[in-house]
Amino acid sequence: MRCVIIPSIALSMIPDYEPYEINIFPYSVFAAFLNDLEFMCDEIVSYIRHKPTNDVLEKHLPGKEIKVEAGEYIINPQDTIFIVALKKRAPKSGEDVPVDPKDLATARVVARRIVPIRRSPQEVG
Protein backbone atom coordinates (compact mmCIF):
# COMPACT_ATOMS: atom_id res chain seq x y z
CA MET A 1 0.00 0.00 0.00
CA ARG A 2 1.24 3.51 -0.81
CA CYS A 3 1.31 5.83 2.19
CA VAL A 4 1.51 9.58 1.81
CA ILE A 5 2.73 11.95 4.52
CA ILE A 6 1.55 15.55 4.30
CA PRO A 7 2.08 18.54 6.63
CA SER A 8 -1.58 19.68 6.61
CA ILE A 9 -4.88 19.51 4.74
CA ALA A 10 -5.55 22.12 2.06
CA LEU A 11 -8.56 22.58 -0.22
CA SER A 12 -6.24 22.41 -3.21
CA MET A 13 -5.66 18.71 -2.38
CA ILE A 14 -9.24 17.83 -3.27
CA PRO A 15 -9.48 16.68 -6.91
CA ASP A 16 -11.55 19.15 -8.95
CA TYR A 17 -13.08 20.40 -5.69
CA GLU A 18 -15.37 17.38 -5.60
CA PRO A 19 -17.29 16.74 -2.38
CA TYR A 20 -15.14 14.79 0.08
CA GLU A 21 -15.62 13.74 3.66
CA ILE A 22 -12.34 14.03 5.55
CA ASN A 23 -11.81 12.52 9.00
CA ILE A 24 -8.64 13.06 11.00
CA PHE A 25 -7.58 10.58 13.69
CA PRO A 26 -4.72 11.96 15.82
CA TYR A 27 -2.18 9.62 17.38
CA SER A 28 -1.45 10.23 21.04
CA VAL A 29 1.73 8.12 20.92
CA PHE A 30 4.45 8.50 18.25
CA ALA A 31 5.23 4.77 18.46
CA ALA A 32 1.66 3.88 17.39
CA PHE A 33 2.05 6.10 14.32
CA LEU A 34 5.38 4.43 13.47
CA ASN A 35 3.81 0.99 13.95
CA ASP A 36 1.06 1.79 11.44
CA LEU A 37 3.61 3.06 8.90
CA GLU A 38 5.78 -0.01 9.42
CA PHE A 39 2.99 -2.52 8.82
CA MET A 40 0.68 -0.70 6.40
CA CYS A 41 3.09 0.85 3.93
CA ASP A 42 4.98 -0.75 1.08
CA GLU A 43 5.83 2.69 -0.28
CA ILE A 44 6.13 5.95 1.69
CA VAL A 45 5.99 9.33 -0.04
CA SER A 46 6.50 12.53 1.96
CA TYR A 47 5.27 15.93 0.81
CA ILE A 48 6.95 17.57 3.81
CA ARG A 49 9.61 20.09 2.79
CA HIS A 50 11.18 20.38 6.25
CA LYS A 51 14.27 18.14 5.98
CA PRO A 52 14.76 17.60 9.76
CA THR A 53 11.19 16.22 9.99
CA ASN A 54 11.85 13.76 7.15
CA ASP A 55 15.16 12.84 8.81
CA VAL A 56 13.35 11.92 12.07
CA LEU A 57 10.92 9.72 10.15
CA GLU A 58 13.73 7.92 8.31
CA LYS A 59 15.67 7.44 11.55
CA HIS A 60 12.69 5.78 13.24
CA LEU A 61 11.73 3.66 10.23
CA PRO A 62 14.88 1.67 9.47
CA GLY A 63 14.53 -0.35 6.31
CA LYS A 64 11.81 1.91 4.90
CA GLU A 65 12.74 4.32 2.16
CA ILE A 66 10.91 7.64 2.25
CA LYS A 67 10.60 9.30 -1.14
CA VAL A 68 10.37 13.09 -0.76
CA GLU A 69 8.17 14.88 -3.31
CA ALA A 70 8.33 18.64 -3.87
CA GLY A 71 5.00 19.13 -5.66
CA GLU A 72 1.44 19.50 -4.43
CA TYR A 73 -0.40 16.38 -3.25
CA ILE A 74 -3.84 15.63 -4.71
CA ILE A 75 -5.98 13.13 -2.79
CA ASN A 76 -5.97 9.67 -4.33
CA PRO A 77 -8.50 7.20 -2.86
CA GLN A 78 -5.94 4.38 -3.11
CA ASP A 79 -3.46 6.20 -0.84
CA THR A 80 -3.31 5.96 2.92
CA ILE A 81 -2.74 9.51 4.17
CA PHE A 82 -0.94 10.66 7.30
CA ILE A 83 -0.30 14.14 8.66
CA VAL A 84 3.00 14.93 10.37
CA ALA A 85 3.49 18.49 11.59
CA LEU A 86 5.62 20.33 14.10
CA LYS A 87 3.62 21.12 17.24
CA LYS A 88 5.36 24.51 17.31
CA ARG A 89 6.50 26.30 14.18
CA ALA A 90 10.20 26.99 13.68
CA PRO A 91 11.25 30.51 14.77
CA LYS A 92 11.52 31.39 11.06
CA SER A 93 9.29 29.61 8.57
CA GLY A 94 11.21 26.85 6.81
CA GLU A 95 14.18 27.09 9.17
CA ASP A 96 15.96 23.76 9.70
CA VAL A 97 15.69 23.42 13.47
CA PRO A 98 16.49 20.11 15.22
CA VAL A 99 13.40 17.90 15.52
CA ASP A 100 12.64 15.21 18.07
CA PRO A 101 9.64 12.82 17.87
CA LYS A 102 8.05 14.60 20.86
CA ASP A 103 7.98 17.78 18.70
CA LEU A 104 5.69 16.14 16.12
CA ALA A 105 1.91 15.92 15.94
CA THR A 106 0.77 12.91 13.91
CA ALA A 107 -2.59 11.76 12.55
CA ARG A 108 -4.16 9.41 10.04
CA VAL A 109 -6.50 10.91 7.47
CA VAL A 110 -9.45 9.07 5.96
CA ALA A 111 -10.82 10.85 2.89
CA ARG A 112 -13.70 9.54 0.87
CA ARG A 113 -15.54 11.04 -2.02
CA ILE A 114 -19.20 11.77 -1.42
CA VAL A 115 -21.56 11.16 -4.31
CA PRO A 116 -24.31 13.77 -4.09
CA ILE A 117 -27.89 12.55 -4.27
CA ARG A 118 -29.51 14.06 -7.33
CA ARG A 119 -33.18 14.92 -6.96
CA SER A 120 -35.68 15.85 -9.59
CA PRO A 121 -37.21 19.36 -9.43
CA GLN A 122 -40.54 17.74 -8.43
CA GLU A 123 -38.93 16.12 -5.35
CA VAL A 124 -37.29 19.38 -4.27
CA GLY A 125 -40.23 21.68 -4.86
CATH number, domain with residue 105: 3.40.50.11170
- The model carries a pTM of 0.86
In this prediction, residue 55 has a pLDDT band, given cuts at 50, 70 and 90, of very high
Predicted local distance difference test score (pLDDT) of residue 98: 83
What pLDDT is recorded for position 119? 67
85 falls within a domain = yes
In a domain, 59, yes or no: yes
Domain span holding position 103: 2-116
pLDDT tier at 116, thresholds 50, 70, 90 = confident
Query: Quick one: 117 exposed, middle or buried, by C-beta within 10 A (0-12, 13-18, 19+)?
Result: exposed
Domain count, the chain: 1
Q: In the predicted model, is pLDDT for residue 17 greater than 90?
A: no
| 12 in any annotated domain | yes
- When mean pLDDT is compared across 9-18, 47-56, 93-102, 114-123, the lowest value belongs to 114-123
Return d(Cα 99, Cα 21) in angstroms, integer: 32
- Is 37 part of any domain? yes
